[in-house]
Amino acid sequence: MIFRLLTKSLKPLRLISLVMTYLMGGGLVQYLREIKRWSVFIQGGFFLVLVTLSVELLCLLQFLVEPKHWPEGMDARGAKQARFIIAAIAATFLTVATTFLVTWVQMGVVWQGLVILLLALLAVAGVYYFSLVAAFLRPYRLLVEVLLYVAFPPAMAYFLQSNDLHRYLTMVVISLVPAYLANRILSLLESFGRDHKFEVETFVTRLGWESAMFFHNALILMTYFLFALIAVLGVHWFIIWPVFLTLPIGLLEIWLMERVRRGMKPLWRVMQFAAACVLLIPVYLIGFAFWIR
């Protein structure tokens, strides 16, 4: 039972997004100047994974405070044991992450820009956690999640190796944000009935079922518009053009969502696969272009 609870804190798509965007950020460093500290680069990836897993475990800990969230068959004693184990694992992960941070200080890796990034990461992680407690923050949890899993990983990979900001980093990250939001909105649409029944306030329950579907489709189109825009603004075409090979998948996802809007049965698994492709394949293709050039 405790194992099942722990797996609840593992969000596969989010972790994959984190790792792939982190590798993309490392690829940008390699493209611009070359990675000099490979040990630091590897440690940075583990640091982000451990921090985000710790935050998810702390969220699960808060979730188990109320008996209505306990799994079937769990009593008060079992809940107490589960919370103790979860807290111990989270504390262990944070300790290891802190060890990495201390190592970076000793190596002289930490500089002013990285300090600001780490403080921002801590603040965003705190808001992400407190959105479970503070009702007014709950609808904005999705926006905070984007920063945690899409924006910070490539920035961390870049600033661990470089002390200047390159426009490619900002442009590419901004272009990926709509794709991630579309993916997560799809997941919230799938759980809309359950969330509405149990009065769980999410971005989609506040926005509304039909408005959320329209917003999801608009975000997919915005993804490709932003990729085209950054190509016009100066990102080399050889980096961007492979992304448009996924445009048919994005259009398929929009068509599938329109079917649902017209009252037809949702093909959730197909839609989840298509939405994941719209996000992850561009991340892979851009990262691959950075690494091989």
Distance in angstroms (rounded) separating the CA atoms of residues 202 and 222: 22
How far apart are alpha carbons 116 and 118 in whole angstroms?
A: 5
* Model pLDDT for residues 157-207, shown as the tens digit of each residue: 999 998 888 899 999 999 999 999 999 999 999 988 777 776 777 888 888
Of 163, 194, 210, the domain-final residue:
163
Q: Are residues 99 and 210 part of one domain?
A: no
Query: Measured in whole angstroms, how far is the alpha carbon of residue 173 from the centre of its chain?
Result: 12
Its pTM surpasses 0.85: yes
| Domain range enclosing 116 | 1-163
**Alpha-carbon torsion (18, 126, 142, 198), positive or negative:** positive
Give yes or no for residue 139 having a pLDDT over 80.
Answer: no
Q: Is 172 found in the same domain as 190?
A: yes
Same domain, 127 and 234: no
Please return the burial class of 110, using the count of CB atoms within 10 Å of its CB with bins 0-12, 13-18 and 19+.
middle
216 in the same domain as 103: no
Share of the chain above pLDDT 90, in %: 65
Domain limit, last residue, from 148, 163, 178: 163
Note whether 16 and 135 are same-domain residues: yes
Q: What dihedral do alpha carbons 238, 44, 89, 12 form, nearest 10°?
A: 0
Overall domain count for the chain: 2
Rank 7-21, 75-89, 214-228 by mean pLDDT and report only the highest: 214-228
pLDDT digits (tens, 9 = 90+) for 33-61: 889 899 999 999 999 999 999 999 998 88
**Of 128, 163, 198, which closes a domain?**
163
Same domain for 117 and 222: no
Same domain for 144 and 183: no
Q: Is the distance from CB of 277 to CB of 246 less than 8 angstroms? A: yes
CA 130, CA 199: separation in Å to the nearest integer?
Answer: 18
* Same domain membership, residue 142 and residue 252: no
Output the pLDDT for position 119: 95
Q: Are residues 200 and 159 in the same domain?
A: no
> Residues 84, 16: one domain?
yes
